């Protein structure tokens, strides 16, 4: 399970670094970038990643429960 956590953290960090890097590399936008603006982007990116991860965990749990339900049901019918 640790592998999935590291993957989520790496994806979030690389997305933030890539987005900020692209914003800084655009010369006309360079003057419009402020520390509060960067902070807002980082917070939204992290919140989005957390929301996506929570939804994934919920869907994984629901899938496991459905699989268990149908496996139990089919094993009971075979008896």
**Domain carrying residue 60:** 2-78
78 vs 69: CA distance, rounded Å = 14
The total number of structural domains in the chain stands at: 1
Output the pTM of the full model: 0.52
Statement: residue 1 has pLDDT above 50: no
Structural contact between residues 45 and 19, judged by C-beta atoms closer than 8 angstroms: yes
Task: State residue 28's pLDDT score.
Answer: 63
pLDDT in tens, 5-34: 677 777 777 777 877 777 677 666 666 778
């Amino acid at each position: 399970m640790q592998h999935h956590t590291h993957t989520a953290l790496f994806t979030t960090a690389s997305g933030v670094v890539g987005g900020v890097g692209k914003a800084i590399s655009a010369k006309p936008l360079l003057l419009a970038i402020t520390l509060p603006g960067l902070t807002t982007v980082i917070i939204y990116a992290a919140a989005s990643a957390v929301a996506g991860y929570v939804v994934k965990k919920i869907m994984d749990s629901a899938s496991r429960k459905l699989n268990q339900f149908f496996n139990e049901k089919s094993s009971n019918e075979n008896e």
